[in-house]
A and B are shown apart, each in its own frame.
Chain A
């Protein structure tokens, strides 16, 4: 158990809908990262937040958005869902500051778009 929690574990929805994925980082960690992992694809970095502020942006679609709240939990919002958005979505967290920070991953949310 990494200490990172994600809800829900599974999500099934239809095309065109909107969903929200939630992540709580490990106690004391200030950074949160979101990744998408499609079948047979590597982990694709989406976005990073540090202490409530956006720190880095990767291959995140305009239909997707995220935020980190004052209690440091984060939400990833996916809208106008398409079949191709079906994937595992992982959240990871790390401590702040040191360049040797390790990212610890949550159990993921499996999103299925029908």
Chain B
């Protein structure tokens, strides 16, 4: 079966750095995505990793270790608008295929 685990909730302070972890056990692996979702809104694409290592994109970075079935999303210089749910999703095999989503981590940024 497919299993993706993320912490349910996290709280961090404005201006700080936060790391959101994701572990996965899936039948096959062909890439991991991170999405941001504000309450009641559509998920928006943040990052994609298919090879081991760190991908940096502005204030957001994402890391992948395929051997450990592990990824994290790093958010720097937190802003209040970063308060949202962060969804980890795994593509399990190649091609134009659906994603398996974790339940998401609800991040609250406080002053």
By the criterion CB–CB under 8 Å, are A45 and B96 in contact? no
Which one, A43, A50, A88, A102, contacts B45 given CB within 8 A? A102
How many chain B residues have a CB neighbour from A under 8 Å?
26
Q: Does B99 reach chain A (CB closer than 8 Å)?
A: yes
- Pick the interface stretch among B10-18, B60-68, B100-108: B100-108
Q: Does A16 reach chain B (CB closer than 8 Å)?
A: no
By the criterion CB–CB under 8 Å, are A99 and B42 in contact? no
Looking at B30, B44, B94, B101, which has the most chain A CB atoms within 10 Å of its CB?
Answer: B101
Q: A99-B30, A100-B48, A100-B50 are in contact. Are A105 and B43 (CB under 8 A)?
A: yes
By the criterion CB–CB under 8 Å, are A90 and B42 in contact? yes
Q: B28 to chain A: closest CB distance in Å? A: 12
**What is the bound-complex CA distance between A55 and B87, given in angstroms?**
24
**What is the bound-complex CA distance between A88 and B40, given in angstroms?**
8
Looking at A40, A42, A107, which has the most chain B CB atoms within 10 Å of its CB?
Answer: A42
**Cβ-closest chain B residue relative to A51:** B96
**What is the bound-complex CA distance between A50 and B97, given in angstroms?**
10
Chain B binding site: helix, strand, loop or mixed by DSSP? loop
**Cβ-closest chain B residue relative to A30:** B96
**What is the bound-complex CA distance between A77 and B89, given in angstroms?**
26
**Cβ-closest chain A residue relative to B93:** A99
**Cβ-closest chain B residue relative to A47:** B98
Interface residue ranges, A against B (CB under 8 Å): 2, 4, 31, 33, 40-45, 48, 50, 55-56, 58, 88, 90, 94, 96-108, 110
Given A42-B103, A48-B96, A100-B31, 10 further pairs, Cβ under 8 A: A43-B43, A43-B89, A48-B97, A55-B96, A56-B98, A90-B43, A98-B96, A99-B94, A105-B42, A108-B41
Name 20 A/B residue pairs within 8 A (Cβ), A-sorted.
Answer: A4-B42, A40-B103, A42-B87, A42-B101, A42-B102, A42-B104, A43-B89, A45-B98, A45-B100, A45-B101, A56-B97, A90-B42, A94-B96, A100-B50, A102-B33, A103-B33, A103-B45, A105-B35, A105-B44, A108-B42
